[in-house]
Amino acid sequence: MAPPPGDPDFTLRSLLFAPGNRADVLAKLPRSSPSAAVIDLEDAVPPDRKDEARAVAHRVAPELVDAVRLMVRVNAVDTADFPDDVRHGLPAGLTGVVVPKLESAAMVDEVAGLLDSVGHPDLPIVAGLETVAGVVDARTVTTHPRVRWCYFGAEDYVADLGGIRTTSNHEVATARAQVGQAAALGGVQAIDMVVADFGDADRFRREAGEARALGFSGKLCIHPAQVPLATGAFRPTDEELAWAEAVVDAYDAALARGDASIQVDGGMVDEPVARRARALLAEARTD
């Protein structure tokens, strides 16, 4: 059984999406054990199937919420579908609501206000940062008290930028770093962009490594095969944990004797290094 919706102590390493109008696909979401699963009412659903998707969400949610942390992605705030998604597409028991293309605190206020008015006053938000304005002003979104997670949407961002999408990711390097920084300033977890070619495991692992180095906690997934890749890539390795334990033990002992800068296995350790080691140990305890 999945942890309760309000469970704060988990790391969002994989966020697996499935089309909201495909009950057969949604039923399979728990099988790969993602950190959380998303019923997608936005991009994955044709414009003329939105009402159907909202109804399907309510029909499948009662079983899914007992098996996986469940979220719903609504359409963007400036679309005609957004109000109906919030009013009619959010079943009980959700862990969060995914809102794409957020660009300002005012937009988050609008989302929060509508959520409150329809009976979801405590539902936290996964903020999509996937436009130029959303990335440039990401701090205004990630520091909003209703936002608990954010994600970087590379495809929409590059389209809005008028750029060219490449496998090198050079065109999104600055944007990814900005999202990582904004997430840190807001104290929220950041989820990295999609790898559309779900058969390219090497690219997924490479991107996940880049994202983890930038402070991201996990990755968006569009296929169950990507979930274990994300889980492995964003979880601290045995070697990292052994290093962290050695550093913390040695540094705590050093502080007790009045030293604040020491060597561990040939490397200098001071408070910033010890803080990073403590964070790794804490991360290993949250799934």
Report how far residue 136's alpha carbon sits from residue 70's, in angstroms, rounded to the nearest whole number. 29
Hey, CA dihedral for 39, 42, 44, 46, is it positive or negative?
Answer: positive
In contact, 241 and 28? CB cutoff 8 Å: no
Q: Give me the phi and psi of 149, to 5 degrees please.
A: -140, 160
Please report which residue ranges of the chain form alpha helices under DSSP H: 23-26, 50-64, 81-88, 105-117, 132-136, 138-142, 154-161, 173-186, 201-213, 226-234, 238-256, 271-284
pLDDT tens, position by position, for the chain (287 residues)? 344 444 556 899 999 999 999 999 999 999 999 999 999 999 999 999 999 999 999 999 999 999 999 999 999 999 999 999 999 999 999 999 999 999 999 999 999 999 999 999 999 999 999 999 999 999 999 999 999 999 999 999 999 999 999 999 999 999 999 999 999 999 999 999 999 999 999 999 999 999 999 999 999 999 999 999 999 999 998 899 999 999 999 999 999 999 989 999 889 999 999 999 998 898 887 76
For the stretch 125-151, pLDDT in tens is 999 999 999 999 999 999 999 999 999
The tens digit of pLDDT for each residue in 19-72 reads: 999 999 999 999 999 999 999 999 999 999 999 999 999 999 999 999 999 999
Q: Where in the chain are the domains? A: 14-234, 238-284
Q: HSE-up of 190 (CA within 13 Å, CB side)?
A: 33
Contact between 223 and 195 (Cβ < 8 Å): no
Conformation bin of residue 12: beta by default, left when phi > 0, alpha when psi is -120 to 50: beta
CATH of 14-234, one of 3.40.718.10, 3.20.20.60, 2.70.98.10, 1.25.40.340: 3.20.20.60
